Each structure stands twice: as C-alpha cells, then as structure tokens.
C-alpha cells in the first residue's frame, strides 16, 4: 500500500486515470496471494527476474481478455449450425488465451513443486497454489483434484478479485464514515447489476412469491439498491443513511447484497472489502482530490458499462495534491 501511494505521489498535479492504478494494485495483491511473489515483474520495462514469466501489465491483459470472453455472446452457443464458422472469432481467441494461460500455469506449478521438493520436510504452504497442490496430492480426499481444477480455481480467484503513515487494517474498525461510504457506493453502483443465475433447489416462498423447485433466479441488485420503498431518496449519494443502522454486506440484509448471499456468495468478500477500504482510506488520507481544469462536476458521467461487471463507462480522471509531509510518501 505504501508503494502504491508513493507511486501515485510521483504523479501529483497531473490528470490521472485512477482506474488503471487501482486495477494494478488489486491484481498485484491477489496474484501474490494466489501464486506467490516472484512470477511477475512490476512494469513492462523491468528486467524479468529468473522466476518471473511475464510482467504484471502483460498478465493484466490476459485477465482483461478472460473477463471479456466471459461476457461475450457467442452466436454459435445459441444457433449451433454456424458454430464451426466461428463468425465472431471468439473461439479462436479463447484457444489462443488457453495456450497463454497453460504456459503460465505450467510455469507456476513447476516452480511450486520444485520449491516443495527442495524444502522437503521443512515445506510450509505459503500461497493458494501451495495449498491446492497439497490437496491434489492427498490420496485420502474424496474428490480428486486435477490440474485442470487447479487452473480453473486459481483463474476464478484472480478474475473474481480484480474486475480494489498508511492507514492500516487495524484502523478500519475506527472509521465508521468510511464504512458508510463503501456501503453507499455498493448500493448505488454494485459491481454486478444482476447476480449470476441461482437455481432453487426446492419449492419455497420468498417475499410472498411461490418459487418452484428448479426455477432459475436472477437477483437484480441494481434495482433493489434504487427501490424507493427501501431507500429514502435513492438517487442521492448519502453515506449518512448507513450511520447507526444495522445493515451489513454479508448476505444477511437483503436490501444490500453486493456480494450475493447463501452458498454461492462471494468467497472473497472479506478480502475484497479490506482491499477497497484500505485503498480508499489511503487515497483520501494521502491526497486532496480535484477534477482536471477542463472538467466541471456537472460534466462527470456516472454511466455504467454493461457486461459481467459494471465499471464506469468513462473512467474517472482526477488530479491529486499531496496533503502529508514529504517523508511519508517515501518507502
């Protein structure tokens, strides 16, 4: 986090597309947790270290392609006869992407297995791949984990975790207004407007509706967040509405479900929340923010792009001014 704030400090006074820096921050945190430290160099210009296979920006391109191909509508999936023509070229792109990902995964798995062999009895799992490889070798496990499972699981975690004097984790519980800002942001702009489809496993009744077993259920977070019967003046951004109210984001308060609810609820919610809270807190503490000279507040578009997730249609460009003593930006 300090390195992130320090890097931004170098851009003070210039218009900055904030999203690019935040995406890079979350990707570097998540990829470290999943794959370990040494597989990426930080920028495209860095010399790749002996263990790194690509730069972080290159990996970001791969993750962007995964997210894009996940949300496209492939004609052949709906009208099978022209499928072999691959009219939109998506299948070709998926195959090319798989090749790149396989090369990357093989490299990462080999490195982890080599380290485990070298350390023998002293080996302690340090990241998600270490743990998954251990499970894949476990003969007592009821369910056999294959390398394809490992590829899928690690990719899910990376894709799910990236489409967030430093403020530290221990400070967060003492920042109730920050908590309210997070909730209000997730109410008005949920990361995904429709939850992925869920399936009713048995007949049930929800809010006086009879839902039959086998029904595919789409939960519309966007409209729940703007429902005037639940929220006073829902179009207004007013974090204060959450102060002193017992509404959480952990799937128990049905009026606010940014991470879903139930068994398919987001497994990364705790990490996602912490990353967002820490980055926002640090950005607000370290800098004063304004719009570039040529942009007026009323010109700022809050439109959202459609897709699997709903980022801003036009990324925010802002100008930072340091507000702390200079030595606090050094790492």
Which residues 14-43 are close enough to bind ligand HEM by CB under 6 A?
Answer: 30
CA distance 198 to 236: 30
Nearer to ligand HEM, 30 or 319 (CB): 30
66 is an interface residue for ligand HEM by CB under 6 A: no
- Applying CB under 6 A, the site for ligand HEM has a residue count of 22
**Binding-site member from 184, 276, 319, 320 for ligand HEM (CB under 6 A):** 276
156 binds ligand HEM (CB under 6 A): yes
Options 196, 214, 292, 315; binder of ligand HEM; rule CB under 6 A: 196
Contact 12, 309 (CB under 8 A): no
Give SS3 for 138: coil
d(CA 211, CA 101): 40
* Interaction between residue 83 and ligand HEM (CB under 6 A): no
The structure tokens listed for 30 are 């998540």
The CA distance from 83 to 26, in Å, is 36
Among 31, 52, 164, 279, binds ligand HEM (CB under 6 A): 164
Give the shortest CB-307-to-ligand HEM separation in angstroms.
Answer: 14
Residue 204 in marked binding region: no
Query: Tokens 């942009």, residue?
Result: 295
The 3-class SS string of 143-192 reads CCCCHHHHHHHHHHHHHHHHCCCCCCHHHHHHCHHHHHHHHHHHHHCCCC
The three-state DSSP-derived secondary structure of 25-36 is HHHHHHHHHHHC
Binding of ligand HEM by 185 (CB under 6 A): no
Among 266, 278, 283, 320, binds ligand HEM (CB under 6 A): 266
Q: 270 or 288: whose CB is closer to ligand HEM?
A: 270
Residue with tokens 């990357």: 104
Q: Does 152 interact with ligand HEM (rule: CB under 6 A)?
A: no
Q: Is 96 in the site for ligand HEM (CB under 6 A)?
A: no
Bridge-based pairing state of the strands 54-55 and 40-41: parallel
Q: Cα dihedral angle (65, 103, 117, 48), rounded to 10 degrees?
A: -80
At its nearest, how many Å lie between ligand HEM and the CB of residue 75? Answer: 26
Stretch that binds ligand HEM, among 159-167, 169-177, 292-300, 315-323 (CB under 6 A): 159-167
Separation CA 75–CA 72 (nearest Å): 9
Q: Does residue 44 interact with ligand HEM by CB under 6 A?
A: no
Decide: is 277 part of the binding site for ligand HEM (CB under 6 A): no
Residue 95: which residues within 8 A CB-CB, separation 6 or more?
Answer: none
Among 56, 108, 271, 286, binds ligand HEM (CB under 6 A): 271
Establish if 132 lies at the interface with ligand HEM (CB under 6 A): no
Annotated binding site: 266
Residues in contact with ligand HEM by CB under 6 A are: 30, 156-157, 160-161, 164, 191-192, 195-196, 258-261, 264-268, 271-272, 276
């Amino acid at each position: 986090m300090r390195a992130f704030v320090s890097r931004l400090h170098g851009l003070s006074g210039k218009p900055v597309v904030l999203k690019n820096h935040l995406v890079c921050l979350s990707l570097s945190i998540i990829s470290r947790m999943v794959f370990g430290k040494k597989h990426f160099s930080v920028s495209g210009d860095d010399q790749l270290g002996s263990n790194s296979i690509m730069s972080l920006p290159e990996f970001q391109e791969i993750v962007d392609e995964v997210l894009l191909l996940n949300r496209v509508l492939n004609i052949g999936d709906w009208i099978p006869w022209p499928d072999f023509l691959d009219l939109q070229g998506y299948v070709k792109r998926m195959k090319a992407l798989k090749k790149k990902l396989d090369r990357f995964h093989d490299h990462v798995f080999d490195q982890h297995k080599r380290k485990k062999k070298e350390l023998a009895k002293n080996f302690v799992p340090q990241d998600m791949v270490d743990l998954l490889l251990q499970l894949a070798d476990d003969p007592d496990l009821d369910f056999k984990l294959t390398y394809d499972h490992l590829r899928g699981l690690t990719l899910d975690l990376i894709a799910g975790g990236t489409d967030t004097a430093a403020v530290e984790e221990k400070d967060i519980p003492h920042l109730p207004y920050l908590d309210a800002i997070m909730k209000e942001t997730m109410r008005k702009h949920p990361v995904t407007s429709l939850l992925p489809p869920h399936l009713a496993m048995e007949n049930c009744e929800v809010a006086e509706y009879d839902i039959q077993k086998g029904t595919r259920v789409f939960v519309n977070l966007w409209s729940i967040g703007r429902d005037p019967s639940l929220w006073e003046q829902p179009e207004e951004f007013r974090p204060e509405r959450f102060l002193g109210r017992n509404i959480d984001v952990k799937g128990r308060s049905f009026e606010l479900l940014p991470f879903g609810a139930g068994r398919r609820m987001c497994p990364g919610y705790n990490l996602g929340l912490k990353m967002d809270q820490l980055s926002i807190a640090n950005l607000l503490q370290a800098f004063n923010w304004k719009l570039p000279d040529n942009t007026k507040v009323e010109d700022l578009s809050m439109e959202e792009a459609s897709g699997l997730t709903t980022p801003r249609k036009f990324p925010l460009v802002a100008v930072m001014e340091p507000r702390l003593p200079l030595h606090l930006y050094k790492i």
